[in-house]
A = this chain, B = another copy of it.
Amino acid sequence: MEFNNQLAIYLQIVERIYEDILLGKLKEGERMPSVREMAVSTEVNPNTVMRSYAHLQEKEIIFNKRGIGYFICDIALNKIQNMKKEEFLEQELPKLFKSMQLLNIDIKDLEKQFEVYKKEK
């Protein structure tokens, strides 16, 4: 897995797990890869993965069954959607609009770009 330098690795792992749940790659009730497995697959120290998992457990996205592993909570998907939506509305959007005004960018420009983006994917 490739990491960028702006955000702590353990948080980038968290973000990727959020995405995987949003995209249905990880489903509620399912078992997470073990700490060690995840450490190997992401080429990261197990401690770092542990930190990601601890963070997710704190946020009640996953929970632990002793000696067995981590599992995705039942309300995980909904919780993440709400969290992300709030983040979007309260942080991303205001920042976006501010940038647009400062740079005199029109909403029409965005539309075009978005079409391009969707086709690329």
- Chain A residues engaging chain B, CB cutoff 8 angstroms: 5, 8-9, 19, 22-23, 58, 64, 66, 81, 84-85, 88, 92-97, 99-103, 105, 107, 110-111, 113-114, 117-118, 121
Cα distance A96–B99 in the bound complex, in angstroms: 12
Q: A5-B64, A96-B96 are in contact. Are A88 and B117 (CB under 8 A)?
A: no
Q: Add 8 more A-B contacts to A88-B103, A101-B121 (CB < 8 A).
A: A23-B102, A84-B99, A84-B102, A92-B95, A97-B114, A97-B118, A101-B118, A107-B111
The prevalent SS among residues of A at the interface is helix
Closest 10 CB pairs of A and B: A97-B117, A22-B102, A107-B111, A88-B99, A107-B114, A84-B103, A85-B103, A96-B96, A97-B114, A93-B113
